[in-house]
Amino acid sequence: MKVVLGKMYKDRISGFTGVAIARTEYLFGCVRVMVEPTKLKKDGDFLPDGWFDEERLVAIKGKTIKHKPTVDPAGPGKVAPSRDARSY
């Protein structure tokens, strides 16, 4: 099963639930998905998100968060960041 970003998932092992917000596919086949919880801590602070193997996740029925692309999307710019030796 390929995870759909914006859908709710539950980890089969830990029970961790949340929305899939990122999917990373590695050179040798490992696919990891970042799941962000939808609940907050009791003090109102954010719970940490988690990375899980795609095969561990089960879809949960419910709303899917839709993303409408913008003209100037967020993320990396056209030029990759580089380290200048003088910045050390």
Closest to 67 in 3D by CA, of 8, 3, 2, 5: 5
Q: 1-62 adopts what CATH topology?
A: SH3 type barrels. (2.30.30)
pLDDT tens digit sequence for 61-74: 887 888 776 666 56
- pLDDT-derived band at 10 (thresholds 50, 70, 90) equals very high
pLDDT surpasses 80 at 88:
no
* Domain range annotation of the chain: 1-62
Question: For 11-38, how does the pLDDT look when each residue is reduced to its tens digit (9 = 90+)?
Answer: 999 999 999 999 999 999 999 999 999 9
H or E, element range at 58? strand 57-59
Does position 53 have pLDDT exceeding 70, yes or no? yes
Averaged confidence pLDDT in the chain? 84
